[in-house]
Homo-oligomer: A and B are copies of this chain.
């Protein structure tokens, strides 16, 4: 059951584990771009870019649409937000731990000690 529920997160984290795919997401976070605009700064063939794009689309992080001969790509904010939520949720817990540790370390010593 866990497997089924976590698949979108698996795919999103996997997609973001590659520096070229992260570069594409960075570019798209600044606005939509055509495939050739995405490819321009990357040290790879257009066909390699298309492969990376496929991974990003399958992960739900990017969608694209074709108008005439130009395919334009957009960032899917919701999939990115899902990744963010997972991190932030974990952070909530580990920050609570730090707060407890800090409270413990800064509490005055019990009367009779120190």
Chain A contact residues, CB within 8 Å of chain B: 2-3, 6, 9-11, 13-14, 16-19, 22-23, 25-26, 29-31, 75, 77, 80-81, 83-84, 86-88, 90-91, 93-94, 97-98
Contacts and interface: CB of A to CB of B under 8 A. Distances in A.
A27 to B, nearest CB: 10
Contact of A23 (B2, B25, B83): B2
Contacts of A80: 87, 90-91, 94
Contact of A13 (B2, B17, B29, B98): B17
A26 B6 CA distance: 13
A91 B84 contact: yes
Contact of A22 (B9, B19, B81, B98): B9
